[in-house]
Amino acid sequence: MAVFTLQAEKRALQGRATNALREEGSIPGVMYGAGSEPVSLTVDRNAMWKLFKQAGESSVITVTYDGAEYPVLIQEMQYDPLTDFVTHVDLRLVDLTKKVDAAIRLVLVGDAPAVKELGGTLLQTMDEVEVSALPAALVSEIEVEVGGLKTFDDAVHVSDLTLPEGIELVSEATRTIASVQPPRVEEVEEVVAEEEVAEGEEKKEEDAEAKA
């Protein structure tokens, strides 16, 4: 299991004053949960972003803060709507001896025959799945094999997932994760029309050459 760590510092600035932290490459945040009082802290933006891409919202992160270590999950990341920079992070403290609910991202893997052979479009209708597990059993992502999507009637459901040991489903088992959409009729008609136009132009050129 991957080990994720994050260094945090005490934060005294609040409200709009935290803009100064962001300009210096830091992110204000709060750590709360597990019966503890909320703690205001600051983390490095680049370190936080890199960690988020690796751990997601469902891997335990060890936060080193004020001389102690705390197991947390990334509860929420807030972004600037213009720059897409992370502007704030919520870290949820967890009790390693108690199960927690978490969302694990789903990653499609493999090739769907209905896409390669029938010209369909692969659709992913669920990006994450809700689960329950002890924090140490959580993983950052679950792979979803789409090689069984051979026709437009096939679909991958939550019940088809292969879950790591110790993880239980919370999401409804009947929900669809991925399927393949048939080519749109308009697109087919457009291609046919283009081919007919091309054939017509070619015929005109042949007639013109014959007359010449």
Q: Residues of the chain with pLDDT > 90: what percent?
A: 57
What's the rounded Cα separation, in Å, for the pair 31 and 40? 7
Residue with tokens 């080990």: 3
List the CATH code of the domain at 4-94. Answer: 2.40.240.10
Contact 48, 5 (CB under 8 A): no
What is the structure's pLDDT at 174?
96
- pTM, two decimal places: 0.74
pLDDT digits 0-9 by tens, 82-114: 877 888 899 999 999 999 999 999 999 999 999
Two domains, one topology: 4-94 and 102-181: no
pLDDT of residue 208: 59
- Domain locations in the chain? 4-94, 102-181, 184-212
Residues near 210 by Cβ (< 8 Å), separated by ≥ 6? none
| CA 48/CA 51 separation, integer angstroms | 5
146, 122 in Cβ contact below 8 A? yes
CATH code reported for the domain at 102-181 = 2.170.120.20
Low-confidence ranges of the chain (pLDDT < 50): none
Closest CA relative to residue 130, chosen from 92, 94, 161: 161
